[in-house]
Amino acid sequence: MRYQVVEKTLGMSLFTDIGNSFYTSTEAANFDNILAEVAKKTGNPPGELADNFPYQLTDVLKNPGLLYKNSYSAFGIALNLLTPVGSANMAIAWPFHEPENPLCNRDPNRCFSRQQDEDWWINRFKVEFDIGTEF
């Protein structure tokens, strides 16, 4: 949702962002093979790809809740300053959902949370600045 605070100069937007990027099953298998080779050469236990939540369109059509369950979500507010040479933008967002990871639940030391570990949600914000065209 966008609102013009000052016509053709300053805008304000409320937004939500939901998404995920992941390896396909073939890419994940290749990654696991590389980790196994590295482990063999170094004598260390093999690493694991723990933060990968792939799904296919057919999976989402069968279970639409999967899209939210396996995605990262945030909401925020942005200010957009329009200038003759382009826009300058500042956004602040708060993450409110991150997929549950069974591997991390079993051993929290193996993984890190993408959200900041703050008790109060307001302290988990992220700020972004950019200059240029938005696509």
**Residue at 25 is within a domain:** no
> For residue 45, what are its two tokens?
């236990």
Q: What is residue 72's predicted lDDT score, i.e. its pLDDT?
A: 85
Task: Residue 7: give the domain boundaries.
Answer: 2-20+71-131
**Residue at 54 is within a domain:** no
Q: Cβ(49)–Cβ(34) under 8 Å?
A: no
Q: Say how many C-beta atoms besides its own lie within 10 A of residue 106's C-beta.
A: 9
Residues in a beta bridge with 89: 80, 130
pTM, rounded to two decimals: 0.65
**Residue at 10 is within a domain:** yes
Q: What is residue 75's predicted lDDT score, i.e. its pLDDT?
A: 93
Query: Per-residue pLDDT for 116 more than 60?
Result: no
What pLDDT digit, counting tens, does each position of 35-94 carry? Answer: 889 989 998 887 777 777 777 888 889 999 888 888 888 999 999 998 888 889 999 998
Q: 60-85 burial, b for 16+ CB within 10 Å, e for fewer?
A: eeeeeeeeeebbbbbebebebebeee
**Residue at 110 is within a domain:** yes
What pLDDT digit, counting tens, does each position of 97-111 carry? Answer: 888 777 777 776 666
* Number of folded domains that form the chain: 1
> For residue 118, what are its two tokens?
């703050």
